[in-house]
Structure 1
């Protein structure tokens, strides 16, 4: 079978058959596909564009203006012992936690392309810096899906803890490399002029956001096609039989497969029946894994960068498994079976109906706050560096 799949002609035939089936599906279910496209575009308009666009601009400015370099000199004693990466990588880690998918991956790639981290460090960083933002976990998943802010806090804590654990494990990735074991001297900080940095950040961020929206709409349609054609239910039935010893049913398998393809669609299926412990563990796995849609968005950024894709995929799979395990453990220690307050239940409709301008205002304000924090940290690092340099000159005299 492996030899057959390795033949180019066989792969072309399979691709042609798959495209023909997709074309037939579009003809058979035009209304359903149109509704899926409108749903995907609505998600992009109300959530993706206002939440990611400001943070894409922020991440580009932090690196182009040299703030990541100053911050790296300040945090080198922390990042190097813990994760075996340069201090500049702290910028990608922080932006990945705050901005959400795929801000962290894009920041890591920018650091690598600007020469502020090595290839090995960038691959380590990709394994654990691309995380879901707290706004999505607390607002959409916690209050919107489970109607309980405590659930959002629990998932946020386990998601962050699992990400740090993945980073600690991947510190041993290529640890025998010389650049991995020996700290490199800090490269000179090259900062662009604000005008050129700002205009370049806006243009690149717009292209990145449109690229992400294209994948979101595409995978919304793919999931609809898989359901309508019966492919997803058939795979769910097979997976349910394989995982029956673990208590999986076909319904749970459908949720898992949906979340494995697209995160937002997957977590939305968890509002149905089922034990709270099982739904929380599955939500944690989906958030850690992020979905094939997010992976395609990241791969579109990586392109011909030469970075190892398997490192990123392995890190996200490990992130999902660790998140699910930590969530199950904490749920046993802190059960959440108490009834939800009426106030939180009323917030679900409000969150679902958040308009574009409100989401954009919140995201832009958060991005500016983070930018000011980066600026203050960079100023502290520059001040500390000048003091150290001054002491060194005195000692030489």
Structure 2
């Protein structure tokens, strides 16, 4: 009751603020729309559609059988988790959460496994980190490499630690196609399991290709519209709350807490006393956290399941701390390595001249690298990740047999 009243009061307050300051609300919503159209929509639409098709024709179940040995040894998760991780790591928020929710609804993972997989798969877009943050916001390509490496390392470290120290059981649901976790399997056995799982899943679904494709596109566009709404609302919140934030709080904190894309831009335009390494560390922490917007997107994706965003929020904060530390540790070796490969240019905070307490600049279309031309690259990266995971899984199974 108290929570409902509080949310109602906050909603009324937000509407009243928008009425009082319509111009700021309009400009902020355009900023969120710009980010959504240039980055999120082209990065997610193909993958959300592909995921629905793969589910309809049993490809998810087949990949689950192939990836089962590797996923169980690394993260105490069934093989289908490998697909969720590959989707989340190649296409960004919230495709990992969407695929995790689908696996949970189909009882391919238990509640404990789904909660752990949600933390591991709900990741920022790699092209956003490499192209938009590195080459765009900061005008330093090597910065994007360091940030991406730190974010990925933080996810792997926390995922491995969570799998090893979690008190919850890793038992699989009763209807999974995988056999006993410790059973020895040859390549022929893995392929047989994959073919069997695909055939059974296709028979259970029963839709034709045209029907499955139409349903996939409709579902994906609906989800993307909801994601765009979350991003626009969070952008408006950042703009409306900025004037009431004390000057003692750094300007990137509010956007970093609420919307990670805007927060990363604000952090890239700040001049830190610690230099560019601190810019990269703060951006890595913001992207690992993901912001309230990413949490709301995950919450929307897992609606109808028994998964919760509260443990996800705690783990994201932990990942942010680990990512910050990893960035500081990786800064010198990766900088020295990329100095011989990538050209350097003037960092963004020297170009803009913003201080830690200055208000964050607004994002314009010219500040963003649109991901529309890079959709084929995303597909290729997704395929390569799945191929590498499959080869590693088969190799792991063969070594176990010896």
TM-score by length of 1: 0.78
The within-5 A match list for 1:12-161 is 14-161=6-153
Q: Secondary structure at the match of 1:52?
A: helix
Q: 1:179: how far off?
A: 4.1
Higher relative contact order (CA 8 A, sep 6+): 2
Measured at CA, do residues 123 and 344 of structure 1 come closer, stay the same or move farther in structure 2, by a change above 3 Å? same
8 Å Cα contact 1:62/1:374 also seen in 2: no
User: Larger % of helix: which?
Assistant: 1
The CA distance in 1 between the partners of 2:239 and 2:116, in whole Å, is 35
The residue aligned with 1:198 is: 213
The CA distance in 1 between the partners of 2:159 and 2:389, in whole Å, is 24
Question: Per-residue displacement from partner, 1:300-326 (whole Å, max 9, x unpaired)?
Answer: 111121113333222212211111111
8 Å Cα contact 2:86/2:385 also seen in 1: no
| One of 264, 280, 291 as aligned partner of 2:261 | 264
The CA distance in 2 between the partners of 1:300 and 1:205, in whole Å, is 13
How many residue pairs get aligned? The number is 352
8 Å Cα contact 1:140/1:351 also seen in 2: no
Measured at CA, do residues 343 and 362 of structure 1 come closer, stay the same or move farther in structure 2, by a change above 3 Å? farther
Instruction: Please state if 1:183 is matched with 2:195.
Output: no
8 Å Cα contact 1:61/1:198 also seen in 2: yes
The CA distance in 2 between the partners of 1:113 and 1:86, in whole Å, is 15
Q: 1:335: how far off?
A: 5.1
Instruction: Please state if 1:369 is matched with 2:380.
Output: yes
Measured at CA, do residues 375 and 20 of structure 1 come closer, stay the same or move farther in structure 2, by a change above 3 Å? closer
Measured at CA, do residues 264 and 320 of structure 1 come closer, stay the same or move farther in structure 2, by a change above 3 Å? same
CA RMSD of aligned residues (A): 3.5
Q: Secondary structure at the match of 2:252?
A: helix
Measured at CA, do residues 70 and 184 of structure 1 come closer, stay the same or move farther in structure 2, by a change above 3 Å? farther
The CA distance in 2 between the partners of 1:146 and 1:277, in whole Å, is 12
Q: 1:340: how far off?
A: 6.3
The CA distance in 1 between the partners of 2:389 and 2:153, in whole Å, is 26
Q: Which ranges in structure 1 are unaligned for 5 or more consecutive residues? A: 1-7, 238-249, 389-397
Q: Which ranges in structure 2 are unaligned for 5 or more consecutive residues? A: 174-179, 184-192, 352-362
The residue aligned with 2:189 is: none
8 Å Cα contact 2:258/2:291 also seen in 1: yes
